[in-house]
Chains A and B, each alone.
Chain A
Amino acid sequence: MALDVSKFIKAPEYGITIVTYRDVFQSSVCDEDRNGKECERLSAVIVLDATEMKRMGIQDGVNVRLTSKCGSIVVRAVSSPREEQKGIGFMVNSPWSNALVYDETTDGIPEFKNIKVKIKVTNEEIMSHRELFPL
């Protein structure tokens, strides 16, 4: 039986900044059913520049683990149809992006739109909201 060596190779990590945004389709679906699968499908996504994805060895549609200094989540990576600024990932504002937000502030306003994370490819499943906040 051939040995699958890929599981012993650590996926490389890259530092990026996540900027969050609003999306009317996601927010409408989540307003209707915040616990639903469709809300999860539209929320647990990071959008990246296609060239950047190539550089980081991330294929369109694969799962990636995002780790900040206060949280770690698994979401799906998709390439932007447009050229984006390098070193930036875009996530719709949701419990998934918020799980990465650091709560230390001097002004009572956390950095919801400036989240420093490490990104790496993973075989793990996308985390459900229950896994984001285990009881």
Chain B
Amino acid sequence: MTEMVTWTCTGCALLCEDIQVSISDNRIEHVENACMKGKARVFGCKEQAVPTIHGDKADIDDVIKDAARILRDAKNPLLYGWSNSTNEAHIAGIELARTLGGIIDSTSSFCQGITVNEILSGSVPSCTLEEVREKADVIVFWGADPMSSHPRHMSKYSYFPRGELRQRGYEEDRTAISIDVWQSRTAKICKNGFHRIPPGKDAEFMRGLIEALSGRVPKLSFDYDVKRILELAATLKKAEFGVLFAGLGLIYSIKEDITLLSEFTAALNQFSHYSLIPMAGHFNMRGFNHTLHEKTGHIYRVKFVDGKAISGVEYSVIEQMKRNADAVLVVGSDPLASLPGSISKRLKDIPLILIDPCMNLTSRVADVTIPCSTSGIEAGGTAVRMDGKTMDIHALVQGNNMSDEKIIERIIEEVG
């Protein structure tokens, strides 16, 4: 018998809750409303992970015991990944790190973590995607290309839909602006609202806009039509409800000057009402920040010393994998594919445990591989959307593997 269910997609941090999935005999048959990323997530990977120790197939109980042994023997274990896991798995991971006196960090460490920190600390105002859909009239995509990273972003929330206060939609009621180093797919939609700036000049352009908002003519070190930046400032000022979607293009460019985000939003809010939403990629990148913040007061890069959490750049995944970590537990991530090559090469030299539903590049160097169910497909829980809203996610089908949450709990029992 075929059953139709409404599902919350875990393909990205938009967590679209309107996906229709038909299921027959515990098999996903058909998916409606999902984008390419969502469908790729639903139908899963080609090559599923199997339990292994040093590349040889092993019993699931044995791999869990071996993982626990590696972590127990390590002086400086690092628990890393977490952006494809539920909040409940995060809680288990934090508990494991505390038990081990180890370090826990996530992909947000070199992604949107610093932006989430600005929001959770109250420095930068934010809002929900529903507010964007119902109210936003000026939408700025800065260093962000949702048409490529979050394909339903513009159609579901930020630009194309009719909203309570935007019944004329994008044709008359909304203005989309793209500030980027090239004409992305999103920039094409923004048409004349596209502002191309040189790489690394985001901070200067932002300061120029702050000047222009104050009625002063900005001076820029690069060739840019001053009239256009003054026109852009005028458009931003006129907004009733503006929103800035901060992409990695912006965040990487201003990472050493991140407080500029609060200066910019404060400058905008002298004239209008502006919020910022980070363009988090993985479905629960932000959930890790929220859960860790709730448990320790820090959003990432935490080391437990005598049960007490301390945070600092020295406990970031990059610094730890480069030098200090003597064992790594990776959960739902592929560091060999996503970290700088030189760091990836070091992963061959330290004991590595990989918990993942799929074979990936990191599987090649993992000492222990533990297959888990796919969160949001075979395991449920809660996750935090890119705007900070907590969402329930439900399993669609029953898988053969334990959830990562359950595996971590088993490792905690073994570490004892």
List residues of A whose CB falls within 8 A of some B CB: 17, 19, 21-25, 27-29, 31-36, 70-71, 80, 82, 84-85, 88, 90, 94-95, 98-103, 105-114, 129-130, 132-133, 135
CA distance A20 to B271 in the complex (A): 34
* B122 contacts A by Cβ under 8 Å: no
The smallest beta-carbon distance between B11 and chain A, in angstroms, is 8
Q: Give B318's nearest chain A residue, CB to CB.
A: A108
Are A113's CB and B341's CB within 8 A? no
* B326 contacts A by Cβ under 8 Å: no
Q: Would you list which residues of chain B between 322 and 343 have a CB under 8 Å from chain A?
A: 322, 334, 336-343
CA distance A23 to B186 in the complex (A): 12
Q: Do A133 and B345 form a contact, CB below 8 Å, given A21-B145, A35-B361?
A: yes
Q: Do A110 and B318 form a contact, CB below 8 Å, given A99-B341, A135-B348?
A: yes
Are A109's CB and B255's CB within 8 A? yes
Are A24's CB and B149's CB within 8 A? yes
* B384 contacts A by Cβ under 8 Å: no
Chain B residues with CB under 8 A of A22: 145, 148-149, 281
Are B145's CB and A98's CB within 8 A? no
Q: Give A104's nearest chain B residue, CB to CB.
A: B322
Chain A residues with CB under 8 A of B343: 103
Chain B residues with CB under 8 A of A107: 255-256, 313
Question: Interface digits, B242-259 against A, CB 8 Å rule (1 contact, 0 not)?
Answer: 000000110011011000
Count chain A CB atoms within 10 A of each CB in B196, B344, B348, B364 and give the residue with the most.
B344
Are B313's CB and A132's CB within 8 A? no
Chain A residues with CB under 8 A of B170: none
Are A101's CB and B110's CB within 8 A? no
Are A133's CB and B364's CB within 8 A? yes
Chain A residues with CB under 8 A of B307: none
- Which of B40-48, B91-99, B158-166, B392-400 lines the interface with chain A? B40-48
Chain A residues with CB under 8 A of B359: 34-35
CA distance A25 to B198 in the complex (A): 26
Q: Do A90 and B361 form a contact, CB below 8 Å, given A21-B148, A70-B341, A109-B252?
A: no
Are B149's CB and A129's CB within 8 A? no
* B232 contacts A by Cβ under 8 Å: no
Q: Do A132 and B341 form a contact, CB below 8 Å, given A21-B148, A108-B316, A109-B318?
A: yes
On chain B, the number of residues with a Cβ less than 8 Å from chain A's Cβ atoms is 59
16 contacts between A and B (CB under 8 A): A17-B199, A21-B184, A22-B281, A24-B148, A28-B36, A28-B40, A31-B41, A32-B40, A33-B47, A34-B361, A35-B47, A71-B342, A103-B339, A106-B256, A107-B255, A108-B301
* B182 contacts A by Cβ under 8 Å: yes
From A17, A23, A129, B361 is in contact (CB under 8 Å) with A129
* B414 contacts A by Cβ under 8 Å: no
Are B341's CB and A108's CB within 8 A? no
Chain B residues with CB under 8 A of A71: 341-342
Chain B residues with CB under 8 A of A102: 340, 342
* B183 contacts A by Cβ under 8 Å: yes
Q: Which 7 A-B pairs have the closest CB atoms?
A: A108-B316, A99-B341, A101-B340, A103-B340, A33-B46, A28-B40, A28-B36
* B267 contacts A by Cβ under 8 Å: no
CA distance A85 to B200 in the complex (A): 13
CA distance A103 to B316 in the complex (A): 12
Q: Give B321's nearest chain A residue, CB to CB.
A: A103
* B35 contacts A by Cβ under 8 Å: yes
Q: Give A36's nearest chain B residue, CB to CB.
A: B46
* B193 contacts A by Cβ under 8 Å: no
Q: Would you list which residues of chain B between 269 and 304 have a CB under 8 Å from chain A?
A: 281, 301
Q: Do A88 and B340 form a contact, CB below 8 Å, given A32-B40, A111-B252?
A: no
Q: Give A93's nearest chain B residue, CB to CB.
A: B338
Are A28's CB and B37's CB within 8 A? yes
Chain B residues with CB under 8 A of A90: 182
Are B337's CB and A32's CB within 8 A? no
